[in-house]
Each structure stands twice: as structure tokens, then as C-alpha cells.
Structure 1
Amino acid sequence: MLLYNEEQQHKNIMPQRGSPETLKHLSIVSMATHMDSVWAADYIHNYLDQYHFMYIIGPFDALPSHLIQELIEFLVQKRQLGRRHLHLMIHQHLESLHLGKCSSCMTDAVIKLVQIRCKKLKKLDLSRCNRLTSYAMSIALSYLPKLVYLNLYSTNCTDEVLGTIGAICVQLRDLNICKTHVTDKGIVSLCGGGNGIHGCKKLLSLDVSFNPRVTINGVKHALRQLPNLRQLLHNDVCDALVVLHEEAFKEGKTTTPYQLRSGTVNDFVVPVSFLEIVDLVCPNLEYIFVLNENLEGDVLQHISRLARLRNLSVSCTDSVVPFSEGLMSLLASVGRGLETLTLYGYDDIDVIAIGQSCPNLKTLTLESCHGFKLEHPQTVIPTALFGNLKSLRLGVEVISNTLEPTLPNSLKIVLEGGRQIENIEITNVEGFTDELFRQVLNQNSFQKLREFALIDCNNITGSSMFELLEGKNDLQRLVMLNCKEVMRRDYDQMMKVVASEHFQLDITWT
């Protein structure tokens, strides 16, 4: 049972209580509620489907892009958005328009309105608008030369559309053509270097993943023609870089370093052939996903030279190179710059070593872990580690739960030090008990905590969760899935407290 005295009431005990909606939000709700009866009434009754207008001076012309966007998304959320509303909301002053969430309303007629009216448009999102024909998209984009951001994810984009983009949208910085119908021919048209088309030379980010007709040749062309690329997403990127390096070597030339920040796409493991030259071709790499068994010899030295590495993922498929050798050597070199560390399948994780090597770590994910160890824990002050951590995700193999005496202490060290932590997810940790959690709460009140999830943790009870609710934190989401000692009556009581105290807190229990 939660008890609050008068002094606590004045301290604004968290989780946060509900607050009145902002005037802006109430205005959006009011406009959406009375859209057909007031704001669009005259247009619907007198003009809709009777005339075709290039321009309309309507009730929304004075609204800036971000408010138009909020109104569109609110209507989508309430399943009330229709093409008649877009006829009025698409106006000549818009600089940003994200229509991916209303793909069912997007037709060739609607995109033509964008083409005619939105001459100032800089950002356009048409993702999943697969009712649009490639012809209509191509014509519309030919009228939008100021675009710097374009999202055509999962649309009917073709090589012809890319030809229009390469010829007209030369200011483009960010383009997503994932899951489209483009080929190597379209990549040549987009990037230039053929047919006299200048191409989008200013592109910083290009997503061509999940396009089976874009081959390694198309990727190589993009790398050659787009010197400013920071992100190129395609499964052949690493292989293309290796081929380009080999071609330069055969010609007696030095490989010009590329500006890419990512060496993988969708958790695609980086091949050894790329790791052996990674510091030569991509010295500015910020994210990489490697296999544990590759962390030795020359490969380890090349990765260690990546001074800008911020996000490291390592998968341990066997124990040829233990944590204490390959990975610890790498963390000693690049750990101070790391902000995100993800480890899969390790059986000898030392969280103290991670905390000491990675003082600026913000996100720590330990998935499918088999084992933990602690080297000289008595010489370490736990609260001195993980001081910048904001997100922790810990998933342990079920078979290891009763065989891991060091796991509870490892988890305790991370949680006690994580005073800035906002998100916690713990799965299959039998050693996470009420007693352990109370010890942690005595050291760390989790004032920044927003989301807390327990999955298959069978030695934690509802009483611990009530202590969390009583604490001074910013909790907004609490998840308890398949935790056998958290009962239905605990959940019901929590929901009563949330209602009576007007907490802004979502609780999930099964």
C-alpha cells in the first residue's frame, strides 16, 4: 500500500502526475473534431468533386509546417483523415511534409497538389505511399528542386524517378530508397558520372538496402561519385570498399579514405576482409558489428585505430577468443570514446572491466549471455562506474540462471552506478530478487528512470515494484511479463494507485 505524508506531497513525488493539456494540443484537437462541420464544411459542400483547383485560399494557410504535420498525424491517429482534408492543408508556404502515415490517402492527384503548390518544400516523406505511380512521383519531384530530405521507402520508385532526382534535386542531403524497384542504372542516374547528369553530389545519407537489383557495381559507383557520403546502407558496402581498395592497389595508387560513419546495415556482420583495411578506407567509422573470433592479430590492431568509434557490437559464436583477451584489449583502446556497447553470447563478461574501460558509455546491451565474472570487485567502488549510462538491457540464457553466482553482483554494480539511467530491461535473471533491488534502491533512487521492464524474472515480487512507485523518479512505463511472483492483485493495486494519484504511467502485466 502506498502511503504519502504531507511533506512528500509538497516534494512532487514521482512518477509524474497528469498535467493539463497545452493550448496548442487543445487547439489541434478542436480543429480535428470540427474539421468537416466547420473548417472544411464550405469546401466539402460546394466544391469537392465538382472542380479541380490548382490553389485554394483555405483556413490553414497561416499554419506553419509543424502544426500542419501535427494536425495530419492527429487525424490519422483518430482515423479521420481524408483526401478532402489534404486538399486544404497542402498549401504554398509549407517547407516540410511527412505523408508516410497517411499512405492510404496518397494518390497521384494529391501528389500533384504538392507538385503545384509546395515550391518551398525542403523535406518530403512519401514512405509506404505505394498507391503513387512512378510517373506521378517523377513529375512531382521535377518541380521540387529545393528538397534536402526525401524518403521514398517502400514506394514504386524506379530508375526513371532516380533520373529525375539526379537531374533536379541536386541539393539533396538525405535519400531513402529502401525496398524499391531501382537498379544499378538508377544509381548511376542519381549519383552522376554518366549521361551528362550532374547527380546529387551533396548526398550525406543514402539508403539502398533491400534492393536486390542494386549490385556491388552500383554500390561502387555511389562510393566513387559521392565523396561526402556519411552513411551508405546496403549489404555489399563492405565488399565494395574492399574491391575498390584492391583496384587502387593494383593500379599503384593509395586508397583515398572514405567519409563513411557506418560499416554495416541492419546488424550485418562486417567481413574479415574489410576489417583488415578498415582504418585505411574508413578511418572515421563510428559504428561496427564484428564477430568475437575476429578480435585478434592484425584485425584487432586495425579496429583499435578507429579513433571515432562510438557504437560497437560484438557477437560471440564460440569461445576461441575469450572476453578477457580480444574484447578487453579492444575496449582498452577505443572504450573511452564508446557510447554504445552491445555484446551477444559471451560466457565470461566482466562488468567492472567494461565500466572502467568505457566511462562515457550511455547504452549497454548484454544479450543471450551465458556467464559473468568479477575481477577484484572488493577494490572497486560501484557508484564510480557507469555514471553516464542511460539505457541497460540484460538478457540471460535460461539454462545459466542457477549457475551464475556472479550475475546478481554484476547487475548490482551496473544499477548502483547508473544514476543517469532512463531505461532498464532485465530478462531471465533469477538472481534479481527483492533483497537485491532494495540494496540497489538504497544506493540509487533512479531519479531519471522512465521505463522499467522485467521479463521472466521469477524472484521479484510486487512489493519491490511498489517501492519503485513510491520513489522519486520519472517513471512512465512499467512492464512485468511472466514474473511469477508478481500477482494479479499487485497489478490491480498498482492500477488503483495510478488512477488515484493521476500518475502518467502505463503498466503492462501478464
Structure 2
Amino acid sequence: MPRRPAVPTLTTLCLHNLAQHMQSLWAKDYSDNYLDEYQFRFLVGPFNDLACGLVQELLQLLGRSRRLSRAALHLLLLPHLRQLSLRPCPNLANNALGHLIVLRCQGLSVLELGGCGRLSPSVLVDLAEGLPGLSRLGLAHTQANVQVLSAVGSCCRRLRELDVSGCKKVTPRALRHLGYDPVERSPGCPALRVLLARDLEHAGDGDAAAAAAFLLLALPRLEVLAHGATPDALRLLRSGRLGGPEDSEGFPSLQELARGRGAAAEGAPLTLPLRQLEDVEEEALDTVHAVCPQAEEVSVWLGDGPGPSGLRELPGWKRLSRLMLGCSGRHGRALAEVLPLAQGLGARLRALTLHGFGCRDPLSLPALLASCPGLQSFSAELEVPPDPHTRHEPPEEEPPAPPPRWATDLLPRGLPQLQSFSLSLAGPVPAAHGPVLSSTLASLLCRAPQLQTLRLLAVPFPLDSVLEPALPGLRELRELALAESRVSAGAVWQLLGTDGPLRRLDLSRCPDIHRRDYDGFLQAVRKQRLELDITWE
């Protein structure tokens, strides 16, 4: 499956040559003569003639190889640059660099400053005011505050995506400046579609729900609001109790905003265009569904209540295609409870993620997968309770050898669009579960030709007889993780001998893989010059 590195293109070779000589030639001259002057200067070099995309690729290359110095970064702040990310080098981002970005790169449409905590709020304000063409701005874990958000709301009229996650100085009331400019009495960020505001220190304050509701009403195109108070804000909007005293800071009331969105004053139905909803509790599903009928991606946390009553709301979302279900209660839920939901969503479900479900009946897993033939991504962390009627076998006793080939008729139609599959098992698996789960995996792998990522984690029964027959058909597999699972060195050698695009192989804590096996794998990879990264502990 692993392949030798592809022959690099001429463009790639040229960029590597530029990266190799940046520090020793052009960056050295710039450091010696201009670095601390911070004037509008450019050192002429081959990078000046690079197209926008190539400049961005050179920056990424220098960042990945840890060769991006302050001087090299200054040299590549060119007027035709359209995208700039400082995530790989937050330590280089100081106030002087912020001023240079405003001075030299006024055509930027994407600016990623996540983690750049040395940039002062005043410089962040200058960036927002000086780069009005931004469509995506990342300010996560920076010093962004109310002044910065006010500048973004009033100046970045084309902004479509904003990330202020983890900003300690961002309060709930400060977020309102993104949706309204109280000085100009005009809407802010009219094009904003995605607002990420996770992990804010004040997300639990009493004003958080009201502030999130304000954003939902003030930003007409908002499709994603990743904020801890979003579910509470939706409950508030559904209740219709939006009255309150006039705001002393000049912001319109929720009631006034609701009237502007076409809702009457006394709690008439209000719908929002949200496409993605996070951390919705089971009992709030009916409320959230009523306010956000167009949701396409939902994550739900289930309690220990009897029966899947709250799950009945989910098939009512006509556009729902990506779903995460997690069990927040102490006792979890049975995987079989998800079957009616999967059958109701049917072929339109593209991604399904499950956390904390119990697989008491091993046939519930293949039944679930068979109900969703259109899946592109599936991930499940399942708890397999021990069978109380079965005596615990001594740990030194080896399980019976599996048959050479498992039955593959549990998923007769397969999952032809599946690209990512992850299964993690917690707890000792009863002996009766092993054959059914093995047959399920064999049936899946033999009928998933588009599979690119496969993770089988902590699987306690041997996987050789499951993997070996399927390997020739997995021609798109790029990542294989078998951490803590039962797989032999022979199966890995067979994997290394087949052709395919495999790039990463995780064998961490596999009980049947030893140090001598790992050393042999690495030697074979080096000898054959394979482009494969193998992890083992």
C-alpha cells in the first residue's frame, strides 16, 4: 500500500530552492540593513515575481520546515498576497509586524492570527480597519477585546468567517458589536456566516444567552454560531419573551430585532438559517428544531432517560446529514436505540458519530450501518459489557483461532461512499461478540472501495483474518490506525507489500507487535524509500 515519494514538480523544486537560500542570502541582507527600520521597503529577489499562490505556498513551506524567520516573513509580505497565516509562527507576530501587514498587504482576504498573543488590541484594531477586504479572520487566543470587535463589526463588511475562540477579554456584551454599530446605528458584518466563539471565560454569565440571541437576530446570514450559550439563546427566542428595558449603550432590543426579522411582537414563530448546531441537550431538540428547521449538522447529548423519546425529533430535520450523538448520563444508552433514528434518516445521512453507547447486541452495529448506505464518515466509541452468564476465562488462555475468511453478507450493499471509519471498543468483549463484529468489519471493508481513513482501536480479537482479504480492494487507503488492537507482524508485512497511497500507520501499544518487528518495518521503509510514517510504542 505505501508508495515511494512522487517525483517533485519543477515548481516544487524551485520553491524548495528559494526556501533553502532565503536565510543565507536575502534574509541575511534584509536583517543586516532594513529589519529594524520598519519602513515601506522591499528587497528585490525572485520572490517578488512569484504569483500570489506561490508566495502563500512558500510561506507554508518555510513554516513546516521551521525556517520561517522574522526577516523572511517581512520579505514575503508582498502587495499581491491574498492569504496569510501566522499560526505556524506565533512567536514572530509582534506589533511591528502587525503594522507592516497593514502597510504592505492591503489586498488580504484571509488573515489567520490564532495564538498570536503578542499583538496588542490597538494593533488588532488597526488590522481590522486597514484590511476592509477580509473574508476570513482568525483571532482565536489573542488579545481581542470590545474595541477590536467593534472595529471588525464596523469595518469588515465582507467578512464571512470569524474565530474569537479562547479570547479572555471578549465578554458576551462585547460580541454584540459584531452585529450592530451603536455609534453609526447601522448593522455590522452583514455577510458573516460563521462565528466561532468557543471557550470564552464569560460564556456562563447571565448575559451570555441574551448576547447570543442578539447575534442570531442581528446577523441575517449567520449559519454557524459555535458558542456555549447558543442552545439557551434558541430557547429564549422560542419562548418569545424578548422584552426588556432600553439598552443604555445604544443597541436595539431583542424585540426590535425580532420585528426586523419578520416576527411579531408577541412570540410569533421565528426561524433562523443556522446550518450547524452544537451541544444540544435531548430535551431541547423540539425547541431547537422549531427555530432552526434548516439544520444540516447537529450534535446531541443524551441523558439516562428511558427510551429514545428525544431522538424522534431528528428525522424531522429535512436537511440533516451529519449527526453526533453522545451519552452524558452515567448509564449510557444501548446502540439499538439509534436504529429507528438511522432508519428514519436513511440514505441522506452522510456522517454519524457515536460516543458512549453500549453494544449489548452485536447485531445492532451491522443493522445500524446497513440503514445508512450513504455514509461518508462513521465514528463510534462503544462499550461492550461482559456477558454475566459467561465465566471469565483465564487471561493466559488464547482465544480460538478465527476461520480463514469471515462471512461478508451482513452488509450486502456495503457503504460505497464511505471515506472514514473509526471503531473503538471499551471493556472486555464477550466471546460471542467476536465472530459477529469480525464479520461486520470484513463485510464493511470488502464493500467500501473509497475508504481513505480506517481506525480500529482497542479491538481485542485478532484482526488478521479481517484485514488480509480486504487489503487488495482498499486502493484509496491513506491512514490506518490499529492502536491497542490485536494484529500480527505478518499482517503488517503483507500490508507493506501491497501497492497503494498509505501514508500513516499507527501500531501504538499493539500487544502482538514487538520492538524487533517495528525495527524491521522501519528498515524496510528506508530500504524501499517508501513514503510511510509508522508509529509504535
**TM-score (normalizing by structure 1):** 0.88
Match 1:90 to one of 67, 72, 77: 77
**Distance in 1 between residues matched to 2:308 and 2:352, nearest whole Å:** 22
- Match for 2:282: what amino acid? V
Segment of structure 1 superposing worse, 34-43 or 157-166:
34-43
* Residue in 1 that maps onto 2:292: 282
SS at match of 1:26: helix
**Cα offset for 1:379?**
10
Amino acid at match of 2:493: F
Measured in 2, the distance between the counterparts of 1:45 and 1:307 equals: 63
CA distance in 2, matches of 1:30, 1:337: 48
In the TM superposition, what is the alpha-carbon distance from 1:314 to its structure 2 partner? 1.9
Q: Distance in 1 between matches of 2:273 and 2:317?
A: 13
The CA deviation at 1:334 is: 1.1
In structure 1, how many angstroms separate the alpha carbons of the residues matched to 2:138 and 2:446? 42
User: What's the C-alpha RMSD, in Å, of the aligned pairs?
Assistant: 2.7
1:63 aligns with 2:93: no
Mapped partners of 1:147, 1:439: distance in 2: 51
Give me the whole-angstrom Cα distance separating, in 2, the residues matched to 1:506 and 1:36: 29
Counterpart of 1:312 in structure 2 is 323
State the shift of 1:307 in Å: 1.5
CA–CA distance in 1 between the matches of 2:103 and 2:432?
67
> Which residue number in structure 1 is paired with residue 452 of structure 2?
422
Q: Which residue of 2 aligns with 1:11?
A: none
What SS does structure 2 have at the residue aligned with 1:304?
Answer: helix
Worse-superposed segment, 199-208 or 447-456: 447-456
Please tell me whether the aligned partners of residues 106 and 129 of structure 1 are also in contact (alpha carbons under 8 angstroms). yes
Distance change in 2, residues 1:139/1:332 (3 Å): same
Give me the whole-angstrom Cα distance separating, in 2, the residues matched to 1:449 and 1:388.
13
Equivalent AA in structure 2 for residue 426 of structure 1: L
Q: Judge which range, 98-107 or 286-295, deviates more.
A: 286-295
Identity of aligned residues (%): 28
1:206 aligns with 2:191: no
d(CA) in 2 for partners of 1:334 and 1:398?
30
Name the stretch that deviates more: 113-122 or 392-401. 392-401
Q: Is the 8 A contact 1:65 1:97 kept in 2?
A: no
Match of 1:490 in 2: 517
Please tell me whether the aligned partners of residues 408 and 440 of structure 2 are also in contact (alpha carbons under 8 angstroms): no
Asked whether the 8 Å contact 1:328–1:353 carries over to 2, the reply is: yes
| Counterpart check, 1:272 vs 2:301 | no
How far 1:89 sits from its partner (Å)?
1.2
Equivalences for 1:316-355 in 2 at 5 Å? 316=327, 317=329, 322-324=334-336, 326-344=337-355, 345-347=357-359, 348=361, 350-355=364-369
Match of 2:171 in 1: 183
The structure with more helix, counted as a fraction of residues: 1
Kindly tell me: are residues 222 and 22 of structure 1, through their superposed partners in 2, closer, same or farther at Cα, counting changes over 3 Å? Answer: same
For residues 248 and 304 of structure 1, what CA distance do their matches in structure 2 show? Answer: 28
Give the aligned partner of residue 434 of structure 1.
464
Give CA-to-partner distance per residue, 1:205-262, whole Å, 9 cap, x none: 0011111235112111101101111100111101110111101699544322111112
TM-score by length of 2: 0.83
Q: Which moved more, 1:144-153 or 1:313-322?
A: 313-322
Structure 2 counterparts to residues 42-441 of structure 1, below 5 A: 42-49=29-36, 51-56=37-42, 58-59=44-45, 60-180=47-167, 181-192=169-180, 194-195=182-183, 196-214=185-203, 215-247=208-240, 251-264=265-278, 268=279, 270-292=280-302, 299-316=310-327, 317=329, 322-324=334-336, 326-344=337-355, 345-347=357-359, 348=361, 350-370=364-384, 380=409, 382-400=411-429, 402=431, 404-405=433-434, 406-441=436-471
- The offset of 1:476, in angstroms, is 1.5
Deviation at 1:74, TM superposition (A): 2.8
1:22 and 2:34 matched: no
Length, aligned pairs only: 485
Tell whether the 8 Å contact from 2:26 to 2:43 is kept in structure 1 after alignment: no
- The one-letter amino acid paired with 2:437 is L
Say if 1:188 and 1:473 are closer, same or farther in 2 by CA, change over 3 A: same
**Partner of 2:397 in structure 1?**
none
Give how far 1:323 is off: 3.5
Q: CA deviation at 1:368?
A: 3.2
Shift in Å, 1:407: 2.2
Letter aligned with residue 313 of structure 2: H
* Matched position secondary structure for 2:11: helix
Amino acid at match of 2:350: E
Name the SS of the counterpart of 1:16 in structure 2: coil
For residues 94 and 260 of structure 1, do their structure 2 counterparts lie closer, same or farther at Cα, with a shift above 3 Å needed?
Answer: same
CA distance in 2, matches of 1:89, 1:279: 48
The CA distance in 2 between the partners of 1:464 and 1:485, in whole Å, is 11
Q: Distance in 2 between matches of 1:123 and 1:33?
A: 26
Shift of 1:191: 0.8
**SS at structure 1 position matched to 2:323:** strand
Contact residue 338 and residue 368 of structure 2 kept, 8 A? no
- Whole-angstrom CA distance in 1 between matches of 2:423 and 2:129: 49
Distance 1:246 1:155 in 2: 35
Q: Does 1:448 align with 2:435?
A: no
Displacement of 1:320: 8.2
**Distance across 2 between alignment mates of 1:182 and 1:433:** 50
Alpha-carbon distance in structure 2 between the residues aligned to 1:173 and 1:338: 27
1:401–1:487 distance in 2 versus 1, CA, 3 Å: farther
Q: Does 1:477 align with 2:498?
A: no
Cα distance, 1:440 vs structure 2: 4.0
Q: d(CA) in 1 for partners of 2:178 and 2:491? A: 57
- The 3 A distance-change label for structure 1 pair 371 and 332 is farther
**Unaligned runs of at least 5 residues, structure 2:** 244-264, 388-405
| TM superposition shift of 1:204 | 0.2
Q: Offset of 1:176 from its aligned partner?
A: 0.5
Q: Is the 8 A contact 2:42 2:75 kept in 1?
A: yes
- Offset at residue 380 of structure 1 (A): 4.1
2:480 maps to a residue whose letter is F
Question: Secondary structure in 1 aligned to 2:353?
Answer: strand
Match of 2:225, SS? strand
Matched-pair contact (CA < 8 Å) for 1:371–1:407: no
Partners of 2:473 and 2:10 in 1: how far apart? Answer: 34
Q: Would the aligned equivalents of 2:382 and 2:426 in 1 still touch at CA under 8 Å?
A: yes
Gap change, CA 1:319 and 1:31, over 3 Å in 2: same
